[in-house]
Amino acid sequence: MVSSVSLGTFFTNSNGQSVLGGAGGSGLDTAALMKSLTDAKKVPATKDQNQITQNGKITAAFTKFQSLLSAFQSSADALRNPPGVANAANNAFKFTVPTVAVPGGNYVSVTSAAGASQQSYQISDITSVATAARQNSGVFNVPNADSNAVPAASGNPSFGPGKVTIAGQDINIAAGDTMNGIAAKFNAVSSATGISASVISIDATHYQLSFVATKTGDNGNFNLSAATDPDGALANIGLTAPVAGNNAIFKLNNVPITRQTNSISDVISDVTFNILQTTPDAVTPYTVSINPDTATIQNVINSFVSNYNALKTFQAQQTQLNSDGTYADTALLANNQTFLTLMNNLNSQINTQLAGTGNNPHSLVDVGISFTNTPATDTTPEVDNTLTVNDGTLTSALQSNFSGVEKLFGFSLTTDNPDLTIFKHTNSLAATDITLTIDPTVVPPVYKATYDTGSGPQTVDLTAAAIGTNVTGVSLTGPSGSALEGLQLLYVSDKPATIHASFGQGVADKLFNTADGALTTNTGSLAIELQSIKDANTRLNGDIDSINKQVSVYQDQLTAKFTALEAAISKVNSLLSSLNANDTARSNQAQG
């Protein structure tokens, strides 16, 4: 008897087709075979998905690096003497703190803003303190300030109903108004009249209205008795004689000063003098000194150091090795050239040695900032060449050579013409001394710069552009490919001039520019790197979609092949069954 051929059980696919599946007499398992074959086809997609997952981790690492670098750039920015105009508030070395010699602080206090000129002043002869003009009503005998004051009891001061006009503002007093209500009506227009009102509680049944100028000085003097009062609303309130306001009167460096207010900010730029009381004599001057705010500068320097060390710790984590010499799983950026190049540049520039003469500091070590290794902890590996600050040495350096420390960190411009300022520069600036030849009066105008970087004098044309419609002068930009590339100056004059200028670039300035090149939106090296990862993920997702489509087609092909095999086997089994039946019939005939 011929046996039938069997490949196992059957199942129905999504198209309603009956195909073989499960283990049969032949030992074949079509479902397992198809899965094995399609899984093999999916291997590239699995690798792509793993790479997308890894790219997500790399992106997270770059995002953290971006945040650390941004914090470091901000602290470097505060130390680099940012170029441009009106940037004192962004420069820690321009922060100031005033001091008043004892006992001058009893008579005057001083505040100063960033950029204030660092020098001393003499305050003397405070003969008058600014006060506000004032005038009172009579005393009202009423139960409380919310009692009717229009009119009050006989013989008592009282308001009459009617309209009072002060400085063009109408105040309408009505029957039944209380003292609090009347004060509120005066205060509603006080910004225009310059007069405020308040209720004074003398005791449980006696109240008085006090009118005070909203500003000190004699410009705020007033007399309510002279107000426009056709209805006599104020005629019976018992107004006292007005007390005139006083101006602040004193001497600054023996120059008489008179102001309407005790807070005086228009005498010395960025300095405010607050007059407290008159001085006891006209002889003793009190010294006010505007000094660098070294405490704030020291805090900013410590922040700069801390932020740099955070970058170094991150670098150590990203390049950490296992005991067998392979990179740790967390070292996601160990082979990334953008990260490694940027950190190498920062590490190199932190060691900048400035050229110079005399006792000026030439490196961070000279101001008490040294390099050390930070031991490993449970969470971080050992970190090489982190910075530590000797606060005593730094304090001493700031006190003894403030300008030298400032030049060590920041960008400096020395010029013999005050009309020339720096607006922008980069680390590409290779010339340290230039001579500008400027003549805007000829046609065409002349804007040239001559410099020598060691190979002989070179003269280049500067690109000139108007600063603004209401500003005299031009901005001057160095040409690309020259030693002045990235330099932009402002010349705020329309006169011909020959100007000598020299530049110095400190540690913080170089570091800021390097970080800026990495952090610039869209075009910075970190933005380009992150976009590259994003683009790679897009391609990988596209590849995965393509592979999945191919696998789907391949799976359909396998289904079709196994379906055909099913049909073929079915025919064979039918033939075998027929042969077996014939064979059985012949055998039965022979036995009969």
Q: Tell me: the pLDDT tens digits for 279-323? A: 998 778 999 999 999 999 999 999 999 999 999 999 999 999 998
Q: Do 251 and 205 have their domain in common? A: no
Residue 17 has pLDDT above 80, yes or no: no
Q: Higher confidence at residue 565 or residue 143?
A: 143
Proportion of the chain above pLDDT 70, given as a percent? 93
Q: Do 421 and 485 have their domain in common? A: yes
Phi, psi of 101 (to 5 degrees): -60, 140
Q: Do 100 and 179 have their domain in common? A: no
Residue 19 lies in a domain: yes
Query: What's the confidence (pLDDT) of residue 111?
Result: 96
Query: What's the confidence (pLDDT) of residue 161?
Result: 94
Residue 152 has pLDDT above 60, yes or no: no
Residue 309 lies in a domain: no
For residue 452, what are the contacts with CB-CB under 8 A and spacing of at least 6?
A: 431, 433, 458
Q: Do 284 and 420 have their domain in common? A: no
- Do 235 and 229 contact (CB within 8 A), yes or no? yes
Least confident of 41-45, 495-499, 517-521, 571-575: 571-575
SS3 410: coil
What residues make up the domain containing 439?
412-505
State which of 235, 269, 292 marks the end of a domain: 292
Query: What's the confidence (pLDDT) of residue 497?
Result: 96
Q: Do 46 and 124 have their domain in common? A: no
Residue 328 lies in a domain: no
Q: How many residues does the chain have?
A: 592
Q: Do 558 and 581 have their domain in common? A: yes
Q: Do 122 and 251 have their domain in common? A: yes
Could you report the per-residue pLDDT of 467-515, keeping only the tens digit for each? 877 889 999 999 999 999 999 999 999 999 999 999 999 999 999 999 9
SS3 79: coil
How would residue 592 be classed by pLDDT, with cut points 50, 70 and 90?
Answer: low
Query: What's the confidence (pLDDT) of residue 24?
Result: 38
Residue 568 has pLDDT above 80, yes or no: no
Residue 50 has pLDDT above 80, yes or no: yes
- How many CB atoms are located within 10 Å of the residue 547 CB? 18
Residue 566 lies in a domain: yes
Please tell me the distance from the alpha carbon of residue 402 to that of residue 415, in angstroms, as a whole number.
20
Q: Do 419 and 496 have their domain in common? A: yes
Which tokens hold the place of 159? 């308001």
500 DSSP 8-state letter: E
Query: What's the confidence (pLDDT) of residue 45?
Result: 83
Could you report the per-residue pLDDT of 191-234, keeping only the tens digit for each? 999 999 999 999 999 999 999 999 999 999 999 999 999 999 99
How would residue 572 be classed by pLDDT, with cut points 50, 70 and 90?
Answer: confident
Cis check for the bond before 82: say yes or no (omega within 30 of 0).
no
Specify the number of domains making up the chain. Answer: 4
Residue 520 lies in a domain: no
Q: Do 195 and 253 have their domain in common? A: no
Q: Do 262 and 277 have their domain in common? A: yes
SS3 578: helix
Query: What's the confidence (pLDDT) of residue 357?
Result: 52
How would residue 584 be classed by pLDDT, with cut points 50, 70 and 90?
Answer: confident
How would residue 356 be classed by pLDDT, with cut points 50, 70 and 90?
Answer: low
For residue 231, what are the contacts with CB-CB under 8 A and spacing of at least 6?
A: 160, 161, 162, 163, 164
Burial of residue 33, with CB atoms counted within 10 A of its CB: 0-12 exposed, 13-18 middle, 19 or more buried = middle
Please give the average per-residue pLDDT across 37-46, as a whole number.
83
Q: What is the mean pLDDT of the chain?
A: 89
Q: Higher confidence at residue 12 or residue 532?
A: 532
Please tell me the distance from the alpha carbon of residue 211 to that of residue 201, in angstroms, as a whole number.
14
Residue 27 has pLDDT above 80, yes or no: no
Going from the C-alpha of 478 to that of each of 376, 426, 456, 457, the distances in angstroms are 47, 11, 18, 16
Strands across the sheet containing 255-259: 96-100, 286-292, 120-128, 248-252, 255-259
Residue 510 lies in a domain: no
Q: Do 418 and 482 have their domain in common? A: yes
Strands (E), 255-382: 255-259, 263-268, 271-275, 286-292, 369-374
592 DSSP 8-state letter: -
State which of 234, 265, 292 marks the end of a domain: 292
Query: What's the confidence (pLDDT) of residue 18?
Result: 45
Residue 268 lies in a domain: yes
Query: What's the confidence (pLDDT) of residue 434?
Result: 96
How would residue 28 be classed by pLDDT, with cut points 50, 70 and 90?
Answer: low
Please tell me the distance from the alpha carbon of residue 68 to that of residue 309, in angstroms, as a whole number.
10
Residue 515 lies in a domain: no
Residue 349 has pLDDT above 90, yes or no: yes
Q: Do 500 and 555 have their domain in common? A: no
